[in-house]
Amino acid sequence: MLAGTAGCGRLAFDETTSGVDGDDAVDDALMVARCGDPVIAPATLRMTGKTFSFGNFQGAISLQTSVAASVRERVSGTVLAMTTSDATTADYSVDIPAGGHAPDAVLVYSRTPDLFTTTVFLDRPLARDLVGDTTVWNPGNGSVWGGAEMAVVYGSGGDGSHSRDSLKGTITFEVRDCVGVPIPNVTLTLTPAPEILLYQSTTGGIDGSRSDTEGTYGSAVAFNAEPGATHVEATGPGFTFDPMDVTVSAGDSMDMVVVRGY
């Protein structure tokens, strides 16, 4: 269901260690270039993928059609581009006017009232096309959850005693390298801490047996996260991770955070 991992968010850098100097234009360029993305974005970016729910923890999917897919400016919430996935195939494609500047954006997938709204926090401003790949989740695939799917997520967590609190939020984390491959042995730290943070196991489940990510899925879930600002840090051998600040949504929502190591 989480195979292969939101609100507003912003990368938060420690300038003493990151080399970021406080100038927004320079900072954005440094963030974008972490994984070799172009510093100057093209005039138009394109995002394509499918909208779907995970059918199990091993990555089987159930298509969800007619889902609104939008790209929104992180701070203001202004819709930069929006479309609806196909009523039969669940495919979607949307062009994002960038004008040569990498927008600091979040991705939002919504079909109310039957599905939770998913907000995807990118780890840096958007300077490249996003092409979804349901084999291993990456930005561009619109994963959404309904009440039944969310109940399975919470029912599988640890000892199964973590019931969803509708006044709090749920965050899934997708830890990836620069080409989208899951990174193992990464530990996440959230401030404030959620009720519990659990990692997806090698068999796909969320069973509380791990204290870091593994290399098949590279995913983790924060159960009953405090709504509002949350600071995210990641550590793992062989990679550098920039800290992030995200805004956790409460209620019928799922926030997804892309954590990219370089």
The region of weakest confidence among 52-66, 80-94, 117-131, 244-258 is 52-66
Q: What integer pLDDT is reported at residue 60 of this predicted model?
A: 80
State pLDDT tens for residues 169-184: 999 999 999 988 999 9
Predicted confidence (pLDDT) at residue 82 exceeds the cutoff of 50: yes
More confident residue, 137 or 93: 93
pLDDT, mean of residues 216-224 = 94
Residue range 15-59, pLDDT digits in tens = 333 344 444 454 555 555 678 777 788 899 999 999 999 876 667
Give the pLDDT band of residue 202 (cuts 50, 70, 90): confident
pLDDT for res 12: 35
Q: In Å, how far are 94, 97, 128 from 43, measured between CA atoms? A: 14, 6, 11
Of the pLDDT bands very low, low, confident and very high (cuts 50, 70, 90), residue 8 is very low
Cβ neighbourhood burial of 128 (10 Å; 0-12, 13-18, 19+):
middle
Can you give the pLDDT at residue 7?
A: 32
Q: What is the mean pLDDT of residues 151-171?
A: 87
For residue 206, pLDDT over 90 is answered with no
pTM of the model: 0.86
Mean pLDDT of the chain: 85
More confident residue, 244 or 204: 244
- Mean per-residue pLDDT, 3-10: 36
Tally of helices (H runs) and strands (E runs) in the chain: 3, 17
Give residue 15's pLDDT: 33
Q: Per residue in 88-123, pLDDT tens?
A: 999 999 999 998 888 999 999 999 999 999 999 998
Residues of the chain with pLDDT > 70, as a percent, come to 85
Helices marked H in the chain: 15-18, 24-32, 147-156
**Sign, CA torsion 128/129/135/138:** positive
Cis peptide before 125 (omega within 30 of 0): no
**CA 107, CA 209: separation in Å to the nearest integer?**
31
Query: In the 8-state DSSP scheme, what is residue 35?
Result: G
